Amino acid sequence: MGDEPLMRSAGFENGATKKPTEGNYYLFVIAIDDYDKSNAEVSEDDGTKRPGERFNRLANPVIDAANITELVINKYNFEKDLSNSRVLEDYPGNVVEYNTIRTKCLYNENAKRSKIVSHIKKISSQIQENDSLLIYFAGHSKVDKAINSCSLVPFDGIDEDDESGTWLTLDNLYDIFEDSKCKDLLIILDCCFAGKAFQGMSLTEDKYFSRYVLVSSSVHEEAADGKEKRGSPFALALQYILHTNNQAYSLIDLPALKSRFEEECLLMFDEKLAQDLFYRQLPTINGLGEFVFELKDKDTPPPALLTRSFVNDLNFTKEKTLILNQFMNVQCSDLNLVVTRESNKYIHELFRAVFFSQLCIFDEGGKKEMRLALCLRKSLPFDISENFDVWSTLRASLSGDAKVETVEQAADIILGQLLDKPMMISIYCNNMTQDSSEKMISFCEDFIKKLDEAKKRRLDAGYKDEVFRKLFFIIPDSRDAGEDFFKQEELNDKLEKHCNLFINTPVDMINIPSALQWSYFAKKIIPSRNVKELAINDFFIGDQKQFSILDFIYQVCDKVKVERFQVENAILNY
């Protein structure tokens, strides 16, 4: 299969508009890796018979479906009942085919067309008006030319246009619920050409119910199956959004899901795929609502909101004052270099977030907002290995629809963005050494040089009197405090003529007053019982008079039942 993606021919939005009424959640999951290979006779025009074509094997639908099933039945208000279930022996891990009316999985040979239709009818006969239904399909799909629609291919489907009767048209999944037999219906399709699912007329009634579809491809696009045993990029993105969400009642957040999907594609294939995601109403009668994902545990705070409270309200007064004095009370140059003196990657990234938040308070005219154009979603990794080139990483991060092939192109893009908005670029290095610090300074020198050359190219091209906004370049000194830190004199000697320098000292420890101050504001902005009941004085017992910032954050995470890695990820992605 190589690196060429094999094709199958989430995010959550905070604050659901209406809390779900009392009702049950139903889950119906269909996934096929191995399609029927037995001979099926098809008729020719002359009446003769021949074997029908079957569909090729896929790598990941069942694994994807099983992972998503385990997530939703353990974290959200779906039923987890092992009655009559079976474990698939041919798969790594614990792939369970659940078998109740409220949680049903049909995998491979069990996902025949007749069984799918039969279970839809069973759900329809039992589901109530206050209940919600989630249907997930992963596998092959075909465009039915006779009706110009996308059909799902069950286990026993035949890969021939004249055999479309062996497929499953999408309206088989939702027409039966047209008379409001359930409150909310969401169909998720990870298959090719799935955008045809929302083609057609949708009528809206003034009632609270919903009929939506989330698809992993447009009308004309194929959907990547992903590399063997890793999962499809869409399924991995959906799992990430499902896993990291901690809002009690949440809706699909398509921009967040798309963003994560792009990251999964880059991680798996080193490129973005020609594959788009859509979340729209089904072409049927709709109401005013949306499918609401309801947590089983509603007391845990959202990691992103908890992280925001750390950035805004922990004891960063010294850092904020330095930023204010260095950048806001004086006229800074276009390029500003910030060096953070922290031995831990997450504290460096937390300082980056504090720096970013503080800059967003001001603009050059003294207004209340400074719109920073963050060209990179994450900090750039910095490696001291012989073949590592930070310019290559920067070029990859800047790439949009077309690859950025050269350093000159990267500099031109950055300079072009600076015509519109200020920008901040951050890099990190896990293990700083003297060699890596020298390489980092060398890169900064080259970065400044390339921006100057880009300005000259624009002048030579006839662009006159252009005003560029500020660029803030943040680099870490992650070594333990001491003589090995970047020296102010060293940086001044090499870079001061070209940029404004700011070197912070390591952040202060957290003591009882600063912890109580954070707690006061956190309880005001975070709607979580676990946060409201947090007793800060219990942290400081015996000789424990203070914490490092990271240790304090971990203590809070443990107390409010948020996994540490979720806050670490939120810091990295702030």
Secondary structure (DSSP) of 437-482: HHHHHHHHHHHHHHHHHHHHHHHHTT--S--PPPEEEEEEE-SPSS
Q: Indicate the pTM of the whole model.
A: 0.60
Q: Please, are residues 219 and 199 in contact by the beta-carbon 8 Å criterion?
A: yes
Q: Which strand (E) or helix (H) includes residue 355?
A: helix 345-359
Query: What three-state secondary structure class fits 562?
Result: coil
| Dihedral angle sign, alpha carbons of residues 326, 329, 331, 335 | positive
Query: What three-state secondary structure class fits 504?
Result: coil
Whole-number Å distance between alpha carbons of 200 and 384:
55
pLDDT band at 20 (very low <50, low <70, confident <90, very high): low
Report phi then psi at 60, rounded to 5.
Answer: -130, -5
Cα–Cα nearest to 215, from 238, 195, 239: 195
Residue 403 has pLDDT above 80, yes or no: no
Residue 12 has pLDDT above 60, yes or no: no
Whole-number Å distance between alpha carbons of 531 and 267:
35
User: Within 10 Å of residue 7's Cβ, how many Cβ atoms?
Assistant: 18
- Write out pLDDT tens, residues 362-399: 544 443 333 444 444 455 555 545 555 778 777 777 75
Whole-number Å distance between alpha carbons of 164 and 148:
12
pLDDT band at 116 (very low <50, low <70, confident <90, very high): very high
Domains, the chain, with CATH or none: 7-294 (3.40.50.1460), 317-503 (3.40.50), 509-572 (no CATH)
Residue 52 has pLDDT above 70, yes or no: no
Residue 246 has pLDDT above 50, yes or no: yes
User: CB under 8 Å to 81, separation ≥6 — which residues?
Assistant: 98, 100, 102, 103
Segment 483-506 shows an average pLDDT of 67
Whole-number Å distance between alpha carbons of 558 and 552:
10
Mean pLDDT over each residue of the chain, to the nearest integer: 81
Please tell me the predicted confidence (pLDDT) of residue 162: 74
Residues β-bridged to residue 464: none
Cα angle 416, 417, 420 (rounded to 5 degrees) comes to 105
Between 334 and 465, where is the model more confident?
465
